[in-house]
Amino acid sequence: MKRVITYGTFDLIHYGHINLLERAKKMGDYLIVGLSTNQFNEEKNKKCYFSFEERKRLLEAIRYVDLVIPEECWEQKRSDIEMYHVDTFVMGDDWSGKFDDLKDICDVVYLSRTPEVPQQR
Residue 90: which region, alpha, beta or left (left: phi > 0; alpha: psi -120 to 50)? Answer: beta
Contact 87, 4 (CB under 8 A): yes
Mind telling me the catalytic residues? 44, 46
Distance CA 84, CA 112 (A): 25
